[in-house]
Every structure is written in C-alpha cells, then in structure tokens.
Structure 1
Amino acid sequence: MSPSEKSKQILVVDDDQQIRELLESYLQRNGYSVLTLADGSELMALLHARQDIDLVVLDLMMPGEDGFSLCRRIRAESELPIIMLTASAEETDRIVGLEMGADDYVAKPFNPRELLARIKAVLRRVQTVPESANSPRFFCFAGWRLDRVNRDLIDPGGVIKPLSGADFNLLQLFLEHPNQVLSRDDLLNLTRGREASPYDRSIDVQLSRLRQRLGDDGKDPHIIKTVRGAGYVLAVEVERLA
C-alpha cells in the first residue's frame, strides 16, 4: 500500500457492533484510519466537523434514519465516495442505493478482503486525474463539457450539473472511448474492477441515471446508445481541450 493510501480515513456506519469491530480492526491492519458510528444520528454533524473523511462505508438497514436517506443527504452536499452494505437477497436495495448516488456496493455476508478491494478501487477512481499531455482537462460533446480537474459536468447553458463519483467515472470512460461499443463487462471491469454477474443491473441503473443527467431520452437516446446484444456506445463527437 502506498503512503497516500495509508493516510486515508474511512468512516464505517453500521448498527452491527460485530461488523464495526471487524472492519475497524481489518482496515487498520491494512493501513487505514477508521472511525465508526452505530447509526446515522451523528453522521452529518461528523462530516461537517471532519474534513478528513475520504470514504464512507454505509449500511442500508439501520434503526432510525436508513442508509438510503443518509446517502441522499450526503450526496446533496458532497461527492464523498460511498460504498453501501446491502442484504444479499435484496437486489432492489442495491439498485436504489446506486440511484441515490452510491459509488459501489458490497452484499452481506461479505469477505472483508472484498470490501477492502472495493475501497481501494473507489479511492483510485476518485483520485486519479492523469497528467500526461494526452489527457485533456475538458471533454466537449453534444454541447456539454466535462471538467476532469474539478469533476464538474457543465450543460450547454453553462450550468453545473451534479455527478456522483460513479457517474463521473462512467461518463469519463465513454468520453475516452467515443464510437466504441463497450459491453457491460467492459464497463464494470473498467469502472469497478469486476465482471458483471448475469443479474447485476448496477451498470444499467447508472446508465439510466447518466442519460437523465444528460437529458438523453432513454427510449430513443442520441448520446449514449444501446447496441442490442453487445453493449453501449457514445455516439457523438468528442473534442478534447487542455
């Protein structure tokens, strides 16, 4: 683990004391600083008071305010990375969590090594801004502009539209591969470092949300098109600006 990874502060919010203690011990052994909360009652106050939180691991089902509501509140104020902990049988929960702006999810029961891998992957995605001459600051497409440094999506009228970290990375991936068909496995591998299971709808949910952000009609999209049986393609011209 690099020095930058070792300094990262992870906040675990889960009402299960065993899970909190397990993750605190495991993540600390792997070089992370860890804070824990048993519910969401103090979450927002803590995030306002602490500017050093790098990622939140957030359980969906907790007493009081649930993870859906907490995720929505976090996302309304910041792009802080969020990984949801969800019940393995509840695919709907995972989909709704992604719709609320979560960056990834891990189904319970889970192996701590899997969660660690997801944490590393999410932190890499949100922190990596290539600095080479071939990596522009702006992607311009269909009247829109993506600012890769400030991580802003700017509409044709100059208004900044909110993007979660997961949405930003998915859009950037399409912009880096215009007019190239990307399969669901490609998208998951390149944005989350894993292959799609036959019933994994997370990419479909993200694509639907991204199309909404872009005002792209899901029934007849003109920016991100569906290629039946193959995947998806960004079907507009892309201009790269320094």
Structure 2
Amino acid sequence: MKLLMIEDNESVCQMIEMFFMKEEIDATFKHDGKQGYETFLKEEFDMVIIDLMLPSMNGMTICKKIREVSDIPIIILTAKESESDQVLGLEIGADDYVTKPFSPLTLIARIKAVTRRTRTSGKTKSENDTLQTTYFKINRSTREIFYKDTLLESLTPKEFDLLYFLMQHPRQVFSREQLLERIWGYQFYGDERTVDVHIKRLRQKIATPEHPFLHTIWGVGYKFDEME
C-alpha cells in the first residue's frame, strides 16, 4: 500500500512511520496542508490520512477537494471532543475517522478495515454484477447506479456500498450495528451516527416526495423499500 499522511505533528509521524514499516506500508508524510494536497495531485496513492487542524489549508478543505476528483479512501484525524467535525468529515466524503489521541495499532486496524472493504467492493461477481429494482439499476463492477435511466454521479464509495447492500435485501430491517459491521467491516464501538450521516446523505440524493426509499424503523434501524 502507498499511503499519504498529512499531519503537522512531526513526532506523531515519526512514531507512526515505524509501525507502517512493520506493516509494509509505503507512507509519504507531509506536515503542511497545501503541500500535502499538492503531493496528492502529483503522485498516485492508495489511501489518504488527513489531520483536520493543519497550516495553510485545513483538513476539511483538503478532504472536500480530493473528493471532487477521486474516490480514494480517506481517513480523517480529529480531536476527541470534536463530534461536529467528525460528522462533517463523513458528510463531505471521508470513509472513516480516528480520534486523537490514538494508538498506532488502532490507526492500522482502521486502515486495514477500510482497505478490506474497498477491495471487496471492487471485486467483480459476474452472476451478481447487475441488480435491478423497480426504479433503480445498479452495477457493482462498474459501480454505477441509475435511477429511471439517469446515472447518479454524486455517490461516494461508502454511499454506494450502503445503498447496494440495502437494495440486495429489500424490506429487511438492519440495525445500525449490523450496517456498521457489514459496510465498514468492523465495529465502530458505539459511533452509530456514522450510519445516520450516510443514510441522510443518500436520502438527499435519491429520495423523492412520492418515494423515500430509505425508511427508518424507530428503535430498530433502516430498510430499503420502494413500495412504501
């Protein structure tokens, strides 16, 4: 894996680098937001880790600008008490977040989980490439979703994965914990708002007054249902 980490705390980077080497992760470290973003544009990476508090260009801006041109997996680093930043980061397209202070092993576990999920989502299953519903047609290998023959181009990778999974199980209700495990590949240890944020974004992109498609079952979870 080739990874870009944009973090202004050099001592943190030095500590993390030792663990990355053990995991055979080829990491490039940048300590300035603008320099980090420019490095992303010039080189090819498999993942980007971004601290939100950076000089010259903050992490939110970098995340948003990257998401405009790429679906590369993004993990953001936030302060433990900054819940609003965590939610906003997910809303603009981050795949995951890790709160500071964190252990290197926790960060590596998140990296592996995001990587596993990305690779699994990208695998082609010829017999199940296309899923057709009343209003949608979704192709897993090309990662395209059509609503009434119109391509939905604004879905992030995690939004695609979540919608595809729910479409595979119409009218079946899944708890937030189940969706975290199935879509993100591991438990978020109580961060159920991650699911809520992604459901909210999907509703903004696919729901109509006549057809909400994604339904909340209070006290239980969510389901996809075109008929209600």
**Partner SS, residue 33 of structure 2:** coil
Task: Verify: 1:96 aligned to 2:88, yes or no.
Answer: yes
Q: 2:107 aligns with which of 87, 103, 115?
A: 115
Q: Which residue of 2 aligns with 1:210?
A: 202
Q: 2-side partners of 1:234 and 1:70: how far apart?
A: 33
**Partner SS, residue 112 of structure 2:** helix
Q: 1:150 to 1:189 in 2, by over 3 A?
A: same
Q: Which residue of 1 aligns with 2:169?
A: 177
Q: 2-side partners of 1:155 and 1:200: how far apart?
A: 28
Q: 1:42 to 1:92 in 2, by over 3 A?
A: same
Q: Deviations over 1:10-46 (max 9, x none)?
A: 1110111112112222112111111111022123332
Q: Which residue of 1 aligns with 2:62?
A: 70
Task: Verify: 1:81 aligned to 2:73, yes or no.
Answer: yes
Task: Verify: 1:50 aligned to 2:50, yes or no.
Answer: no
Report the identity percentage.
32
Q: 1:154 aligns with which of 124, 143, 146?
A: 146
**Maintained 8 Å contact 1:125/1:169:** no
Q: Could you tell which deviates more after superposition, 58-67 or 208-217? A: 208-217
If the length of structure 1 is used for normalisation, what is the TM-score? 0.86
Q: 2:33 aligns with which of 40, 62, 74?
A: 40
Q: Which residue of 2 aligns with 1:232?
A: 222
**Maintained 8 Å contact 1:180/1:233:** yes
Quote the offset at 1:193 in angstroms: 3.3
Q: 1:196 to 1:121 in 2, by over 3 A?
A: closer
**Maintained 8 Å contact 1:12/1:37:** yes
Partner amino acid for 2:19?
Y
Structure 2 alignment gaps of length 5 or more:
none
Quote the offset at 1:70 in angstroms: 0.7
**Maintained 8 Å contact 1:142/1:223:** no
Q: 2-side partners of 1:44 and 1:198: how far apart?
A: 32
Q: 2:179 aligns with which of 172, 187, 202?
A: 187
Q: 2-side partners of 1:104 and 1:227: how far apart?
A: 25
Greater percentage in helix: 2
**Maintained 8 Å contact 2:124/2:141:** no
Task: Verify: 1:168 aligned to 2:145, yes or no.
Answer: no
Structure 1 alignment gaps of length 5 or more:
1-7, 238-242
**Partner SS, residue 31 of structure 1:** coil
Quote the offset at 1:142 in angstroms: 4.3
Q: 1:27 aligns with which of 20, 29, 40?
A: 20
Q: Deviations over 1:187-233 (max 9, x none)?
A: 1111223435556411111110011121356xx86311011111001
**Partner SS, residue 42 of structure 1:** helix
